[in-house]
Structures are given as structure tokens and as C-alpha cells.
Amino acid sequence: MDRKTTGKTQPKKDAGRDARLKAALKANMARRKEQARARAGQDAHGTGRDTGKEGQG
């Protein structure tokens, strides 16, 4: 009998949790895409990584 009562309350908790996880995942993916765009822009302009050639004699 306990299983039936806990089964009814759990979907409400899971629905809220799923919504939070979905929102967090969406925000994380947006942040990663923005970082990837920024890196791609830096690499295209040649201002990305230091080559180590400057300052060495």
C-alpha cells in the first residue's frame, strides 16, 4: 500500500526536477556555444594563442 501512495507524489517531484534540469542544461549549452563562438572568432583573427616566438632572441 505504501508503494501506491509514494508513486502518486513522486511524479510531481520528478516533473519539477526535470524542469530544473532542462533549464540548467539549456543555459549550459547556450554558455558553451557562446564560448565556442568567441574562441572561433579569436582563432580567425589570429589573436588566439601565443606562439611563443615573440621575445625570444
Look at residue 17 in the predicted model and tell me its pLDDT: 94
Q: Which helix (H) or strand (E) holds 14?
A: helix 2-45
Instruction: With respect to residue 48, please indicate whether it lies within any of the assigned structural domains.
Output: no
Look at residue 43 in the predicted model and tell me its pLDDT: 79
pLDDT mean by block of 10 residues, the chain; 57 residues: 58 86 98 95 68 59
* HSE-CB for 2 with a 13 A CA cutoff: 0
The total number of structural domains in the chain stands at 1
Distance (Å, rounded) from C-alpha 55 to C-alpha 57? 6
**Predicted model pTM:** 0.51
Distance (Å, rounded) from C-alpha 33 to C-alpha 11? 32
Give the structural domain span for 9.
Answer: 1-38
* HSE-CB for 4 with a 13 A CA cutoff: 1
